[in-house]
Each structure stands twice: as structure tokens, then as C-alpha cells.
Amino acid sequence: MNKEKQLLKDLIEIFQNQRVAHKLDKQEIELAEQTGVLYYLSKHCMTAENLHFVLEKINQNKSILNFRLATLKKIVDDLNDHHCEFIIIKGMPFAQFAYGDYSLRTSNDIDLLVSIDSISMIKEVLTKHGFILGKYDKENNSIIEYDKMSYYYHLIHTHQLPNFIKIDQGIPISIDINYKLAIKNTDDFVQELFDERQYVMINNTPVITQTLETMLITICLHHYFDMNSPIQIYKNTHGFIRMIFEIAIFIKNNKFDYEKILYLVKKHNLESYISSILNYINLFFPIELVIPKST
């Protein structure tokens, strides 16, 4: 059995509440880290021989997330003072609901979904906090700044601005500003996200995010886009393992208003996207799902 199949087998057994206990070799640990499931896996699939190593990585991940969270709080306070319309999507809020612990999921950036009217003020606030437009150079722990061409390319051809990033005490903090979703013709649904916001407490910090129902729809749309994007597939060859597992766990660990989900999905013509992802997940993680279908 190759490493991918073994990892998926472990995740399925965890999902079905069959505790797994075997020694992960170096390759399995590296694969679990690449796919973003190492931290959750460590709670269920570790022996004493390698638990210490992984717990060290978990604590490191938690420290980085807490550092980013402290920066995020300062930014959010400023955005609220300027009455900007935004929510935090994916990342830590999703992990808190899916795993019950925001530190059990790796995240390279903080995603903000913002209204177009708020973009100028958000750029001003991020600049005030020391962020610049650029990408992180991990090898040199430095920032490569974007030029104007890259900026306008993102505005015209993508659903987000180029990354805003800064390095603080050696830790990179990257913020993605999404002004729409990756799937086309979802502007009306985006407005629903702003209309139905909620706060979730993460490490004693209130974070404004989505409701469970809109979060499930959004994460399915996000992964649908990635699974149908050659660039994303090339950049993240193991991403499907994380995708199917984290959505399955999110569904299993939460109670949803499925009537609300069906209403929103039909209202915004999202049936094909959502049912495609949920059917795919159901192949690996059998679970009773209310799957939207076209009528």
C-alpha cells in the first residue's frame, strides 16, 4: 500500500471512530504535513515513538497562529472603526468548527472576504500596519514585492487582490483580500455572507465569520474551483486528501440547518457545484448527507 492510500485509510478509520495506533515513518509524516492533516492525525494515529516530534510541530503551529491572530485583532479593530464590511473565511474559523481546535489545521494566510466598497480603506489599514503587496520567499525569509502589472492582473483576472504580507519577528503574516468568490456569478451569494455573519471565539479573541450553513457552501465552492483548476492541481498535488477529509469532519462534527442550505443553494443556482463535491466526499467517507440536487 503506498503512502497516500495508507494515509487515506487512517483518516477513514478515524472518521468512523476506529482509533488507529501505528508508527508513522518519516515519509508518512511528511505526506501528512504536506496535506495539512498531520496535526489532526496526531491525536489519533501516533505512538510514543514519534508523538514527541509531532507535538513539537503542533505547538509551533499554534504559536504561529496565535501570533497572526494577535495581528489580525488589531487590523479588525481598525476596520470596524472605519465601518468596513468584511468577514474572515476559511482558515482558523473553519478549523475551530471542523476540528474543535483552531490549531489542528495548518494555514498559510488569513482570508478576508470584503465588499468592493471597502477595498480602498482595507488597503489603507493594512498599509498602516506594515503590510505590503508581495509574496513570501521562504528560502530567504523575505518578501518579493509585486509590481503594478501583477496588481492589475489580479484585479482583472482573479477574485482577489495580490497578497498583503509582512514579516514580524521572523514570522510571515499573509492576508488575502477576496472581493468575490472564485466561482463566477456568485455576487448575490456573497451578499448573503455579509448579511448572515456570526462571531466565534478563537483563543479568547472574537472573530467575525460565516454561519455554519454558508461556511459549508463556501468551502465546497472553494474546493470545487481548486479541483477544476490546473494551476491549483499543479501547486497542490496532495490537496484532495485534505479537501475530502476536512469537509467530511466539518459535516460530522456540526449540526446544520439543511433546509437553509438547500434554500441558499437553489436560490443562487449552486446545485451542480455542491452536489459534485459532496458526492465525491461520500465515496470515501460514508455519511448521511443531504445532498442538493437540481430539480
Which of helix, strand or coil describes residue 126?
helix
User: How many domains would you assign to the chain?
Assistant: 1
| Residue 170 placed within a domain | yes
- The pLDDT tens digits for 203-214 are 989 999 999 999
| Residue 80 placed within a domain | yes
More confident residue, 239 or 100: 100
| Residue 102 placed within a domain | yes
Residues 6+ apart with CB under 8 A from 266: 292, 295
Is pLDDT above 90 for 96? yes
| Residue 223 placed within a domain | yes
Residue type, 279: N
- The pLDDT tens digits for 51-90 are 777 778 888 889 999 999 999 999 999 999 999 999 999 9
Across residues 29-48, what is the average pLDDT?
77
| Residue 293 placed within a domain | no
Cell numbers linked to 33: 504535513
Domain extent, residue 129, equals 3-284
Least confident of 16-25, 29-38, 62-71: 16-25
| Residue 201 placed within a domain | yes
Which of helix, strand or coil describes residue 182?
coil
pTM metric for this prediction: 0.89
H or E stretch at 174: strand 171-178
| Residue 295 placed within a domain | no
CA atoms of 67 and 65, how far apart (whole Å): 5
pLDDT band at 263; cut points 50, 70, 90: very high
| Residue 292 placed within a domain | no
Task: Please count the other Cβ atoms lying within 10 Å of the Cβ belonging to residue 78.
Answer: 17
